[in-house]
Amino acid sequence: MIKIYDEGVTFPKGFTASGVHAGIRKNKSKRDLALIMASERVPAAAVYTLNTVKGAPLIVTKRHLADGYARAILCNSGNANTCNANGEEIAEATSAMLAAASGIDADDVIVASTGVIGQKLSPEPFEKAMPELVARLSVAGGKDAAEAIMTTDTTLKQAAAEAVIGGKVVRIGGIAKGSGMINPNMATMLVFVTTDAAISPETLQKAVSRNVRDSFNMITVDGDTSTNDMFAVMASGKAGNEEILDRTAEFEKFCQLLSAVSVTLCKKIAADGEGATKLLECRVSGAATKELARKAAKSVVGSALVKAAMFGSDANWGRVLSALGYSDTALDAGKADVAFSSAAGRIEVCLGGSGIDFSEEKAKAVLSEKEITIEVDLGCGVFDAVAWGCDLTYDYVKINGDYRT
């Protein structure tokens, strides 16, 4: 049985965290430098954006994780450290600053950045803030770290879960940031996860790579794939379970636990899309293959026209079929059913690819809720998938019209 908690990266044993205002952001009321520290060098794994324009921190982190181990995650907000001539040099330098302040090895640092692309990043704020950042490490510092990685996010995003694996209680905790520039092709914006499970780097990497296919890769806010997307996990082994091995019952339980935390974070990210007022969930069933189900679900929540209709509480189901039609799913429109549901009820709007009579008043009520589910049955198979997104509002343009300035 999996239990979900409103906790973060210090929920599992063996981790502390902190977050401070280093001066990277102009707003002095916001923290902008986060640190997550393991009590010792631990197995670690990560996946990264498929955007060919990559932030310097991702390149450095790949080098640092080549041996499958890490000790800390260091992340700044306010500047993406992307498209900078000396970006890698700065990422390595900040890792070295942390090493000097904490006594760990610089090569054991997962380094990440988020914010404006193409802006120069000075190492000076990092150097000044590093002693305080290390001094503030504590089990209570998880929320400070979660706050420090936020950019246009309006809500702090954290989630945790526990379950019995191998006769021991195993915990997983995570924090995330993400509000705009979200259309992942690996994981998502920035997601940092910790676990006290005993698991090898190789097995952990398999779990992480498998996890993203039905969690973070199934979110879209605006169709833009970020340059700095990263999903990183560290495993302390402090739960005391026997080491989890691939292709075992324990591995499946661990993957389910990781999925529980990931999906919770996915929903929080999608619901906090820039300018969003509604969380959209598309549940596709009856697909010929799993991949086609994924494509169909993500196409629907990614459609600007569908998103705009949901903002207006308009049951324009034709836009759903249109999104399915260009999703490369070999759609047989004559077999597709569509329905909308929410806390206000459920209403069918399309059967066998054709419109049916329905109450516009009830549809309006269903679509006026904060969380809306778009149900699609393709009628072509037995596979299903779920994707998450948000509505498209006037505020999205306002936020992104002057994001840099």
Question: In this structure, what CATH number is given to the domain that contains residue 346?
Answer: 3.10.20.340
**Could you say which of 188, 203, 225, 227 is catalytic?**
188
| Dihedrals phi, psi of 337, to nearest 5 degrees | -115, 145
Name the burial class of residue 305, with classes exposed (0-12), middle (13-18) and buried (19+) by CB atoms within 10 angstroms of its CB. Answer: middle
| Whether residue 188 lies in the annotated active site | yes
Indicate whether 234 and 355 sit together in one domain: no
Q: How far apart are CA 29 and CA 69, in angstroms?
A: 34
Indicate whether 243 and 94 sit together in one domain: yes
Domain final position from 271, 299, 325:
271
Q: How confident is the model at residue 365 (pLDDT cuts 50, 70, 90)?
A: very high
Q: pLDDT, tens digit, for every residue of 108-161?
A: 999 999 887 878 888 899 999 999 999 999 999 999 999 999 987 888 999 999
| Dihedrals phi, psi of 46, to nearest 5 degrees | -155, 160
pLDDT at residue 81, as a whole number? 86
Indicate whether 231 and 317 sit together in one domain: no
What is the sign, positive or negative, of the torsion defined by CA atoms of 56, 62, 65, 66?
negative
Indicate whether 196 and 115 sit together in one domain: yes
pLDDT at residue 185, as a whole number? 47
Indicate whether 143 and 89 sit together in one domain: yes
Q: Are 376 and 337 in contact (CB under 8 A)?
A: yes
Indicate whether 252 and 136 sit together in one domain: yes
Of residues 138 and 334, the one with the higher pLDDT is 138
Indicate whether 198 and 340 sit together in one domain: no
pLDDT at residue 187, as a whole number? 36
Q: CATH number for the domain including 64? A: 3.60.70.12
Domain ranges, residue 325? 279-401
Indicate whether 145 and 263 sit together in one domain: yes
Indicate whether 149 and 255 sit together in one domain: yes
Q: How far apart are CA 322 and CA 303, in angstroms?
A: 9
| Dihedrals phi, psi of 169, to nearest 5 degrees | -75, 120
Tally of domains in the chain: 2
Tokens representing 223 are 């169709």
Tokens representing 293 are 């189900």
Indicate whether 167 and 26 sit together in one domain: yes
pTM listed for this prediction: 0.87
Domain final position from 236, 271, 306:
271
pLDDT at residue 401, as a whole number? 67
Q: pLDDT, tens digit, for every residue of 18-45?
A: 999 999 987 778 999 999 999 999 999 9
Contacts within 8 Å (CB) and 24+ apart, 349-358: 349/315, 349/317, 350/317, 350/320, 350/321, 352/379, 353/321, 355/317, 355/318, 358/315
